[in-house]
Structure 1
């Protein structure tokens, strides 16, 4: 049986096949009647994902030793270019998941095979675990500020707060997208209002130093400008790589163009605003850690309490969207454990990621380097997936074959593995432009390898090179 569409009966058959193959129910295709996320909630989801302290730290990283590497105009020009590319790639890569309801880890089998997808899925899961821990530590730092205020300074232990927050997130994530939908809608609205207050406060109280150190800075339109675009995209590279994990939850009947808009608008609003505040905070205080900078700028215990509460909620919001579901699916795929067990494992792994190292003032630049390095691998993977689906298969794929342990996609596809390594190798030649170099080189390499190498490969079945 070949399944090319998202029709109800076809998906039902796929679900039956996948269950017979021992796949956890969280990985079977989502049927239209099981999708609960509407367009508005979907936009709030990406708004909540963008409004977080990790992105704010990237904004603050623009200020190095009191000098801005990019001024305000260069910063937003880079941001708009990056968001346009992100939205386009998002809408292209989410289409298979939206049409068929399959998750990213199953989509990978189309190019890499059942065994080959283990490595490529880990390259998505590991950065998510690191970001999960990073966001939780930021949230734990803010939670510690709250407890200090409430206890009158008697309690001061960030690590304990970090563990408590992690436990809360594990419990919330047990409910999957049912929890994400309402958490994101509430939290993203509250946080945007809170940050608007901070934005006004910075303008009224610290405008002179912000103008001097960031707005009127000379900056550059050279390599650092393009490196920031790549860093910006690298920050989203892991998310739009696993676009199918999100689009499979979105209600059916939404055109490709409209889905692209559902990404572009909230990312532009949230990311642009948060980057701006991060750069303003760093300019005003000289501190890269946003939580510590907030405590200096807002020297009022009541306001600090409220802002810290919003930071905690922001950490939960971004983790539930970007950093919990993808590694959970990876763990479920590799270990065969149930979804709730995999969610719990993801939470414990994030505890072991040593996120306190990444939030130090001396580590702000290191965070950017980390993004550029792992995006060197993620650019090639998303390029291979897009070439496979749009060029080689003309948007036609036998979904049931993806769930068979012995079939067309069993084993691994050497063309995909080699192309990914070639793309990543090329990306490391100029790490500041890692994503785009890896994306282009891997895509070209994959086309040539699929056409000329491994003549009898079963992965060519159903492609233009069959």
Structure 2
């Protein structure tokens, strides 16, 4: 197993990062998650709340509540990184079993693929705007190539990119926000419609879903922090970075979508990236905004590629018994994932906004039960004590399959179906509630209520952390 970080390409993968290679400060989590969320897809996600019927005021409030709730769960996952020194999803083996963890891992890979595809579509539009070309494939392929390069370089360079994205995001989105207030009568866009519970909860779900879907990979980017890093510092830097960056971008989406629907120039629904360029102005200013969009999307897309590599490796090593990957394997996993997202992006449907809304809500349905299991086990059952060597042994402490986690997880997913509000299916209870989608809340609570007492009776956690050197 490689034990050095001195080369250009990161060598650690799903193995634990040893103490002598730990580095950085908790503030790196703030810049990474602020930069990763201050980007165009967050703007689109915020706009969806207005596009699908919410008043701008209640959309803003609903999005803020969802970001707070989802961001808190996401940051609790991040706080696991310094203590474990492991990527996020391999710690799921402590709950689901070494082979059982493959179940949520497969869903995580599909999530990475979906977000990578949507990011590639929007970033391709921005690159084409910079180059002045109209062929979609040009921008999409260039963006995919940049993503592969940075994901291969790994952890250290991803954090550098996060710092760059924070600076460019602050400058670019400050300018766009000012231009929105200059061009639109912003105050008149709020409070136009009465409060509607259905659209309000949709706004909450959109932002909560956005935050919760970071759960499967957030600890990937805190695992190099020194083991002595206070959990509170990791939590608050992650929480504030992700909530502030996301809420700012989503609020801009609320404003410009409300203005667009009110007839104040442009059509945000038709061309999201082009609309932001027009909002910025013409010439070099628009090009600079396109560059901000590309940098922000490149940050989060690199997270998707890097996270997909970790998840795919966790799946394959569970079957092969290995604990790490060669540079060749790393390259093949990352190139394969990004190539798939590029191919899908080239043939993406024109009905982008509606598909993206349903994609986020479906992900919310499958990952809230996983978050519930993972956090309850780590903080309440095992009391933050994990036998790390046993995570690589199907015959060890955690076994190959763990019934409490798997059964609770599947019940947590299935119990949400009657509460769903999707384009293809609306649950019977949702119809009784007038279309209000509360499936993710039901899934989170139901999973917790089933898993906690069962896992407490079957607890196999050690009395203290067991590291490889022990």
1:334 aligned to which of 315, 339, 348: 315
CA distance in structure 1 between the aligned counterparts of 2:204 and 2:38, rounded to whole angstroms: 18
Aligned partners of 1:392 and 1:463 also within 8 Å: no
Measured in 2, the distance between the counterparts of 1:451 and 1:100 equals: 21
Shift of 1:393: 1.9
Structure 2 contact 124–136 (Cα < 8 Å) conserved:
yes
Q: 1:401 is matched with which residue?
A: 390
Normalising by structure 1, report the TM-score.
0.84
- Change in 2 beyond 3 A, CA 1:79/1:95: same
The match for 1:57 is 44
Provide the rounded CA distance (Å) in 2 between the counterparts of 1:216 and 1:165.
Answer: 39
For these two proteins, the number of residue pairs brought into alignment is: 423
- Return the alpha-carbon distance in structure 1 between the equivalents of residues 134 and 76 of structure 2: 47
The answer to whether the 8 Å contact 2:71/2:208 transfers is no
Q: 1:62/1:247 Cα in 2 relative to 1: closer, same or farther (>3 Å)?
A: same
Deviation string 1:323-364 (CA, Å, 9 cap, x unpaired) is 122111011223355333322222112223347636x4x432
Contact 1:94/1:243 (<8 A) preserved: yes
- Which stretch has the larger CA shift, 337-346 or 312-321? 337-346
Unmatched tracts of structure 1, length 5 or more:
1-13, 17-23, 149-154, 453-458
| CA positional deviation for 1:298 | 4.1
Q: Per-residue deviation at 1:240?
A: 2.1
Report how far residue 116 of structure 1 moved: 0.9
Q: 1:41 aligns with which of 28, 32, 38?
A: 28
Match of 1:20 in 2: none
Asked if structure 2 preserves the Cα contact closer than 8 Å seen for 1:188 and 1:317, the reply is no
Does residue 1:369 correspond to 2:351, yes or no? no
Q: 1:186 to 1:91 in 2, by over 3 A?
A: closer
Structure 2 residue matching 1:397: 3-state secondary structure: coil
Instruction: Give the structure-2-normalised TM-score.
Output: 0.83
Which residue in 2 is equivalent to 1:141?
125
The gaps in structure 2 that reach 5 residues or longer are 4-10, 261-265, 318-324, 421-436, 464-470
- Checking the alignment, whether the CA contact within 8 Å between 2:93 and 2:101 is kept in structure 1 is yes
Map 1:58-207 onto structure 2 (within 5 A): 58-64=45-51, 68-72=53-57, 74-148=58-132, 155-207=133-185
Q: Secondary structure at the match of 2:153?
A: coil
Shift of the 450–92 alpha-carbon distance from structure 1 to 2, 3 Å rule, reads same
Deviating runs (4+, > 6 A) in structure 1? Answer: none
Shift of 1:463: 7.9
Counterpart Cα distance in 1 of 2:208 and 2:366: 13
Task: Tell me: CA distance 1:51–1:253, structure 2 relative to 1, closer, same or farther (3 Å).
Answer: same
> In structure 1, what is the equivalent of residue 337 of structure 2?
346
Superposed counterparts of 1:443-462, under 5 Å? 443-450=448-455, 460-462=459-461
Q: What's the CA shift for 1:96? A: 3.5
The equivalent of 1:287 in structure 2 is 268
Distance 1:299 1:246, change over 3 A: closer
Q: CA deviation at 1:55?
A: 0.8
CA distance in 1, matches of 2:309, 2:239: 26
Query: Cα RMSD over matched residues?
Result: 2.5
- Residues 102, 248 of structure 1: 8 Å contact kept: yes
Q: For residue 98 of structure 2, give the secondary structure of its aligned residue in structure 1.
A: helix
Q: 1:46: how far off?
A: 0.7
| Offset of residue 316 of structure 1 | 0.5
